[in-house]
Copies of this chain bind each other. A is one copy, B any other.
Amino acid sequence: MAERHWMGFDLGGTKMLAAIFDEEYRCLGRERKKTKGFQGAGAGVERVVKCIHDAIANAGSTLDQIQGIGIGCPGPVDPENGVLLQAPNLGWKNLNIAELLQKEFKKPVVVLNDVDAGVFGEYQFGAGRGARSMLGVFPGTGIGGGFVYEGQIFQGHRISCMEIGHIPTVPDGPIASAGLPGSLEAVCSRLAISSLIAQAAYRGQAPSVAEKAGTDLANIRSGTLAEALKEGEPIVVEILSRAVLQLGKTIAGFVHMLAPERIVLGGGLVEAMPEFFLKKVKEGMRQWLLPPYRDVCEVVVAKLGDDAGIQGAAAWARHKIRIKT
């Protein structure tokens, strides 16, 4: 019998990534395309289908060999029915991705949230290996979260969850993408931090940022912040420190609630300045944790980068499909 293969798919807000894995999770081939969500869900799904076919071809695999497809989606999903409920960055709603892909490929399809996929990837193959429970905290443009509890992705009643970016943090604080004033993501995400630094640059307080990136949020990326931090630009150090200490306190609250064995920090901001995040998050946690919770969990940095999503989606699909059959 031919080797069995699994498809891991990461449907992102701007790009999509498909990869074929063998049973030892070696990547045999991949394909990447722009998502172009603005063209609508119909065109988007066509691109997904094309991307899958191309990845299979690139891997030298065949559709016969594919045992199942795991697809991580950028928004809350109904995992039982395989529906992407809402994708704010794509403008798509209530899209039954499982059904559409099953029709096309005649393979079992497992739909999950994209952050859950990345978190499960880190749990299986990266910084979460060996832990019985793991909380992933991924600050980037927004702030994503995911939780693995006793080897399973933690999921809610008919909906994926651990949307830690959307919890209240500062009453009547600034507004974030989801329209929630003072949510965690309105205070500690890359966008929130960059907007404060853009103000500082505009006022002339962050000359190194102003020189390299101006005052346009689109240019003040995680890398820009990391560089200014390294140069020791005082206002940047101050703004970043405050935001990450607040994130650390919030994470301490998660420890009081979930007491995971391990916390994995990932996402664009953390990738750009891993030591700083690790240090400041731990500092914020120490300020907040109650004594019995102080030694419960380790905090580490994610290892897999962009590949966590495809690896986790493939592994979760295999896990779920094995259980079903």
Contact = CB atoms under 8 A, between A and B. Distances in A.
Contact of A157 (B76, B254, B259): B259
- Tell me how many chains of this kind the complex includes: 2
A215 interface: no
Interface string A148-164: 01000011111111111
A143 B231 CA distance: 45
Interface string A294-321: 0011000000000000000000000000
A163 B85 contact: no
Contact of A259 (B145, B149, B159, B167): B159
Interface stretch (A43-51, A98-106, A192-200, A284-292): A284-292
Contacts of A296: 156-159
6 contacts: A149-B149, A157-B260, A159-B259, A164-B257, A166-B256, A167-B253
Interface of A: 75-76, 85-86, 132-133, 145, 149, 154-164, 166-171, 178, 180, 246, 249-250, 252-261, 288, 290-293, 296-297
Given A162-B257, A163-B257, A166-B256, 20 more contacts: A86-B290, A133-B157, A156-B259, A157-B260, A157-B261, A157-B296, A157-B297, A159-B293, A161-B255, A161-B256, A161-B258, A161-B259, A163-B290, A164-B257, A167-B253, A167-B256, A168-B250, A168-B288, A170-B170, A170-B171
